[in-house]
């Protein structure tokens, strides 16, 4: 299962977006200097846009495990805040992952918080 999560996270990273590390996304989602309102709002928009794009496209990547094609789906309609909070909690608990891709760590965070299902799909011929 861990291999599937890592593979799916790596494949999701191929989505067109600005390449980010988990540390860069963490800094955007929880700015160190929230006193600068304009900068904090720009960072919040960057964070929200990145998280929303990954959440919206999570089911576009298939992985194969034991010969079965699996698609990731969010279990329910989470708010953007819930998705961001799960990421921030996870990355703060796993600072060793800060250099990994943001996409990979987002998926790991959502998986850890049981926000994702891997749904079997028919194999394409």
Cα separation of 123 and 48, whole Å? 33
Max Cα-Cα span within the chain = 55
Q: How many beta carbons lie within 10 A of that of residue 12, not counting itself?
A: 21
Q: For residue 124, what pLDDT is reported? A: 66
Tell me which residue range forms the domain holding 49.
Answer: 2-121
| Domain count across the chain | 1
Q: For residue 32, what pLDDT is reported? A: 79
Query: Is the CB of residue 107 less than 8 Å from the CB of residue 48?
Result: no
Q: For residue 7, what pLDDT is reported? A: 43
Token readout for 119 is 């749904």
Query: Is the CB of residue 6 less than 8 Å from the CB of residue 63?
Result: no
Residues of the chain where predicted confidence (pLDDT) is lower than 70: 1-19, 124-125
Cα separation of 27 and 23, whole Å? 6
Q: For residue 18, what pLDDT is reported? A: 54
Q: For residue 40, what pLDDT is reported? A: 84
pTM over 0.75: yes
């Amino acid at each position: 299962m861990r291999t599937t999560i890592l593979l799916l996270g790596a494949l999701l990273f191929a989505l067109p977006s600005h390449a980010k590390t988990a540390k860069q996304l963490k800094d955007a989602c929880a700015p160190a200097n929230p006193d600068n309102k304009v900068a904090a709002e720009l960072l919040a928009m960057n964070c929200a846009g990145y998280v929303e794009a990954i959440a919206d496209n999570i089911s576009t990547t298939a992985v194969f495990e034991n010969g079965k094609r699996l698609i990731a789906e969010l279990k329910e309609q989470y708010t953007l805040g819930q998705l961001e909070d799960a990421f921030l909690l996870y990355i703060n608990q796993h600072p060793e992952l800060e250099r990994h891709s943001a996409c990979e760590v987002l998926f790991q965070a959502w998986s850890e918080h049981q926000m994702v299902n891997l749904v079997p799909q028919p194999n394409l011929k």
